[in-house]
Amino acid sequence: MPDLLCKPFGTHGKVHEITPARAGWRHVGFSLYRLRPGETAAEATGAREVILVMVEGKAAITAAGRDWGTLGARMNVFEKTPPHCLYLPNGTEWSLLAETDCTVAVCSAPGRGGHAPRRIGPEGITLTERGRGTNTRHINNIAMEAEDYCDSLLVTEVFTPAGHWSSYPSHRHDEDDFPRITYLEETYYHRLNPASGFGVQRVYTEDGTLDECMAVHDGEVVLVPRGHHPCGAPYGFEMYYLNVMAGPRRNWRFQPDPAVKWIIDKDG
């Protein structure tokens, strides 16, 4: 089992590169660039489809043989405004030029050439509330099941207020048995506000064969190969995470941990 907590390997340039081989799975890839004005990044998608997410800052992007202009608006992810994103199918190339300090996520999964390049957001992405009480959090859906932009990818942003829990009640999506449950690998890219803070994420199976509890810091990534995966933000520290999911089929169906199912039954 690979280490589930991935720390950035620098503060500048490409700071994360999580491949299926690195993660020990088959579908999800995630990398992250932190760039200064005037710096560039470029990649080919190869056999994978990609969503570029402008987490912070602005960049001029050329991709799939087209000039997409400047993407990005929010300078700090905790502004909670909708992100600017770009979907690219397999077999294309992209390059960008940072116009400001920027953070760019590269979310990838196997592609089948079933969708054309397109901008995603900020139009059409609305911050929505989910949960109740200290389980309340706020969601920017970038490309979930209802948005038919992709062959494999499911991508969303979540903002968890200080003192709240998220990805909770605990649930898993680690079996290929649609419509009861689907197999989806998942990454969490975490940010904290203030950045000096920490959050907590647990990844565990009901039989105890996997049970990891991690303190997560600003800029770190958690891998979820299987099992339940709740996370919490301590009082005083707001949490953001960017989720990337993919599996054999593009549906999100999950099963709750029986130990917490009563919460779902109570809250409806």
Is the pLDDT at 27 greater than 70, yes or no? yes
Confidence of residue 266 (pLDDT cuts 50, 70, 90): confident
Rounded Cα distance between 242 and 191, Å, is 9
Q: How far is CA 102 from the centre of its chain?
A: 17
Question: Which residue's entry shows tokens 């709740």?
Answer: 230
Question: Which residue's entry shows tokens 């059409």?
Answer: 124
Record the tokens describing residue 217, joined without a space: 């810091």
Confidence of residue 1 (pLDDT cuts 50, 70, 90): low
Which residue from 197, 256, 184, 203 is spatially nearest to 27, judged by alpha carbons?
A: 184
Say what the pLDDT of residue 261 is.
86
Which residue from 189, 181, 131, 123 is spatially nearest to 155, judged by alpha carbons?
A: 189
The structural domains of the chain, with segments of one domain joined by +, span: 5-267
Rounded Cα distance between 107 and 120, Å, is 13
| Cross-strand pairs, 93 | 44
First-to-last alpha carbon distance for the chain, in angstroms, is: 36
Strand, coil or helix: 32: strand
User: Options 3.30.460.30, 2.60.120.10, 3.90.950.10, 3.40.50.2000; which CATH number does 5-267 get?
Assistant: 2.60.120.10
CB 85 within 8 A of CB 153: no
Is the pLDDT at 76 greater than 90, yes or no? yes
- Tell me how crowded residue 213 is: count the other CB atoms within 10 A of its CB: 9
Rounded Cα distance between 226 and 242, Å, is 18
Which residue from 32, 43, 18 is spatially nearest to 186, judged by alpha carbons?
A: 18
pTM greater than 0.85 (yes/no): yes
What amino acid is encoded at 150 in this protein? C
Question: pLDDT higher for 268 or 29?
Answer: 29
Rounded Cα distance between 158 and 240, Å, is 6
Mean pLDDT of the chain: 96
Rounded Cα distance between 231 and 201, Å, is 4
HSE at residue 173, side-chain half, CA atoms within 13 A, is 21
Is the pLDDT at 111 greater than 70, yes or no? yes
pLDDT tens digits, residue range 28-74?
A: 999 999 999 999 999 999 999 999 999 999 999 999 999 999 999 99
Counting Cβ atoms within 10 Å, is residue 1 exposed (0-12), middle (13-18) or buried (19+)? exposed
| SS3 per residue for 215-250 | EEECCCEEEECCCECCEECCCCCEEEEEEEEECCCC
